[in-house]
């Protein structure tokens, strides 16, 4: 694949958490009985007229401001015509020629590298209903509860180059919309869905290849798998002498493969034209400033401040920035324990993985600040090794409010506080018993350092301070 370059563009559909639909007052409550959240407007009865949801406008402006997009003072709504059974009007209200904002960017971290992902535009639109094909072997069912739900569609430039970058972008965007409070970002429930446009081209060419669009991917993991599969599929086709056709694809999550649904429609197939029932959307500078003033401090501003003040990694700062509850606990604990780096590492290595695996919040963990700080102090004092603190004591903290010291004593984990003289005596005995290995070490077999440490730990019952013992051992061997 080294001879090919990959271009990935994302179209992300974000369902807004307003109380009503985009152009009428119907509820958008999830999980209700089919066809109960509807009205003559969402069913497109003749003579009904749309009226835009004010909450949708405010949330749209919030996202545009957060990604530094240029907001148009005047934008328009268009009709996108296509005939699906779950689209009652026969068209979707959207923004084509003049979306409410254009440009912008969102930064992601891939490994240790910061990448700026360019955003082409964001536009407002409404969702379609839902076709259900599994309830009846002969008929498809239609649920129109979702029809008319307010959406934002964020479209990136085709500047992503790997499935991992796409994964990180979607993850970062989901964290942002949750932080702003404009959507719950629940992909499994359809609150955020991604269309992944994938193309490959020879590295020597600057012309983009024909793209295939994988539609409606509803999880971060599936998006990554779908893109990886599509990259490999297109590469094999081209290497075999074939050509890529512009195609709309479906992703089979069970089998991990993409399948063609239909040839990709061209823009003219949708017959866009201005909606005659909706007036132009006017967003004044005053209104935009009012929305900006009511927004919280943006996550990357918090990130930069935490990196500057505490010296933690960008990945750690990003995690704290997007989770106010986690950040608050971290800051409380810093009043009791002085090293932000060590505390942040405990979060990265144990606390956050536990939260993610168990699906709980920091509050639901019932971890006391004194327990966290006490655990780190045991390590700092050389009383317990970091490995035993993390592997044996930390799980016990999840079960009760017992102090880390009591747990360490109960599990017989407290290390001997040997003096330098006691350690030197121990190592002299080990050297006398293993004189040939001492000579081998001095001849260049430095890997034997681990052997001597193992003998010392065995002699002490595993209760030596490994760092202190290793420092003294190294000094004694070098001076032999």
Looking at the fold, whether 87 and 37 belong to one and the same domain comes out as yes
Is residue 62 pLDDT above 80, yes or no?
Answer: yes
92 domain residue, yes or no = yes
pLDDT of residue 474: 81
Read off the CATH number of the domain in which 424 is found: 1.10.10.410
Q: For residue 188, what pLDDT band results from cuts at 50, 70 and 90?
A: confident
* CA distance linking residue 386 with residue 216, whole number of Å: 44
Average pLDDT over residues 166-192: 95
* CA distance linking residue 310 with residue 339, whole number of Å: 8
Looking at the fold, whether 266 and 312 belong to one and the same domain comes out as no
Looking at the fold, whether 213 and 89 belong to one and the same domain comes out as yes
* CA distance linking residue 335 with residue 313, whole number of Å: 20
Asked which of 259, 291, 323 is the last residue of a domain, the reply is 291
Is residue 145 pLDDT above 70, yes or no?
Answer: yes
Q: For residue 10, what pLDDT band results from cuts at 50, 70 and 90?
A: very high
Looking at the fold, whether 315 and 271 belong to one and the same domain comes out as no
> CA-CA distances (angstroms) from residue 203 to 8, 209, 461?
15, 11, 60
Looking at the fold, whether 53 and 194 belong to one and the same domain comes out as yes
Strand partners, 106: 117
pLDDT of residue 1: 46
Looking at the fold, whether 166 and 242 belong to one and the same domain comes out as yes
Strand partners, 248: 213, 262
* CA distance linking residue 207 with residue 200, whole number of Å: 10
256 domain residue, yes or no = yes
Looking at the fold, whether 300 and 256 belong to one and the same domain comes out as no
Q: Which domain holds residue 331?
A: 296-410
Asked which of 257, 291, 325 is the last residue of a domain, the reply is 291
- For 185, the token pair is 């970002």
Q: How many domains does the chain have?
A: 3
Contact assessment for residue 463 and residue 415, using Cβ atoms and an 8 Å cutoff? yes
Contact assessment for residue 373 and residue 336, using Cβ atoms and an 8 Å cutoff? yes
Average pLDDT over residues 215-228: 95
Q: Is the pTM of this model over 0.85?
A: no
Is residue 470 pLDDT above 70, yes or no?
Answer: yes
Looking at the fold, whether 171 and 46 belong to one and the same domain comes out as yes
Q: For residue 430, what pLDDT band results from cuts at 50, 70 and 90?
A: confident
Question: How many other β-carbons are positioned within 10 Å of the β-carbon of residue 1?
Answer: 11
Q: What is the pLDDT of residues 320-365, one digit of tens each?
A: 999 999 999 999 999 999 999 999 999 999 999 999 888 888 988 8
Asked which of 2-6, 373-377, 419-423 is least confident by mean pLDDT, the reply is 419-423
136 domain residue, yes or no = yes
The dihedral sign for the CA sequence 234, 236, 238, 241: negative
Q: What is the pLDDT of residues 259-308, one digit of tens each?
A: 998 765 555 578 899 999 999 999 999 999 999 999 999 999 999 999 99
Q: What is the pLDDT of residues 361-371, one digit of tens each?
A: 898 888 899 99
Is residue 141 pLDDT above 50, yes or no?
Answer: yes
Looking at the fold, whether 280 and 301 belong to one and the same domain comes out as no
Asked which of 291, 317, 351 is the last residue of a domain, the reply is 291
Average pLDDT over residues 116-144: 93
401 domain residue, yes or no = yes
pLDDT of residue 383: 86
Looking at the fold, whether 285 and 361 belong to one and the same domain comes out as no
Looking at the fold, whether 178 and 311 belong to one and the same domain comes out as no
Parallel/antiparallel/unpaired status of strands 247-252 and 212-217: parallel
Average pLDDT over residues 373-401: 91
415 domain residue, yes or no = no
Looking at the fold, whether 226 and 341 belong to one and the same domain comes out as no
Average pLDDT, the chain: 91
């Amino acid at each position: 694949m080294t001879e090919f370059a990959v271009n990935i563009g994302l179209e992300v559909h974000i369902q807004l958490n307003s109380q009503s639909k985009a152009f009428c007052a119907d509820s958008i409550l999830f999980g209700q009985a089919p066809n109960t959240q509807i009205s003559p407007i969402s069913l497109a009865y003749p003579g009904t007229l749309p009226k835009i949801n004010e909450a949708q406008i405010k949330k749209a402006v919030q996202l545009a401001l957060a990604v530094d997009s240029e907001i148009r003072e005047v934008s328009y709504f268009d009709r996108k015509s296509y005939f699906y059974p779950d689209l009652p009007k026969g068209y979707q209200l959207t923004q084509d020629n003049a979306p409410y904002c254009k440009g912008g960017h969102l930064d992601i971290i891939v490994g240790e590298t910061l990448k700026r992902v360019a955003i082409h535009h964001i536009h407002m639109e409404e969702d379609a209903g839902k076709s259900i094909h599994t309830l009846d072997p002969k008929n498809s069912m239609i649920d129109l509860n979702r029809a008319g739900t307010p959406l934002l569609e964020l479209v990136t430039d085709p500047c992503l180059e790997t499935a991992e970058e796409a994964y990180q972008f979607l993850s970062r965007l989901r964290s942002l919309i949750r932080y702003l409070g404009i959507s719950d970002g629940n992909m499994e429930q359809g609150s955020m869905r991604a269309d992944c446009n994938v193309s490959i081209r020879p590295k020597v060419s600057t012309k983009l290849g024909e793209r295939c669009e994988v539609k409606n991917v509803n999880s971060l993991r599936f998006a990554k798998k779908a893109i990886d599969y599509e990259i490999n599929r297109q590469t094999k086709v081209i290497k075999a002498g074939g050509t890529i056709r512009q195609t709309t694809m479906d992703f089979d999550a069970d089998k991990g493969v993409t399948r063609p649904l239909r040839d990709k429609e061209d823009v003219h197939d949708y017959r866009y034209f201005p909606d005659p029932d909706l007036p132009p959307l006017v967003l004044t500078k005053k209104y935009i400033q009012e929305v900006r003033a009511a927004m919280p401090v943006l996550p990357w501003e918090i990130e930069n401040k935490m990196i500057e003040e505490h010296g933690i990694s960008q990945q750690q700062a990003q995690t704290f920035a997007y989770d106010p509850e986690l950040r608050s606990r971290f800051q409380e604990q810093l009043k009791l324990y002085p090293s932000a780096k060590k505390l942040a590492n405990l979060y990265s290595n144990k606390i956050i993985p536990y939260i993610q695996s168990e699906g709980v919040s920091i509050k639901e963990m019932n971890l006391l600040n004194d327990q966290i700080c006490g655990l780190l102090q045991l390590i700092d004092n050389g009383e317990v090794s970091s490995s035993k603190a993390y592997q044996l004591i930390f799980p016990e903290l999840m079960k009760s409010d017992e102090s880390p010291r009591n747990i360490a004593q109960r599990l017989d984990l407290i290390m001997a506080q040997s003096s330098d003289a006691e350690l030197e005596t121990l190592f002299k005995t080990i050297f006398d018993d293993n004189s040939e290995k001492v000579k081998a070490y001095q001849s260049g077999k430095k890997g034997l350092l681990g052997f001597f440490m193992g003998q010392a730990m065995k002699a002490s019952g595993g209760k030596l301070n490994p760092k202190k013992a290793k420092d003294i051992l190294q000094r004694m061997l070098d001076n032999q």
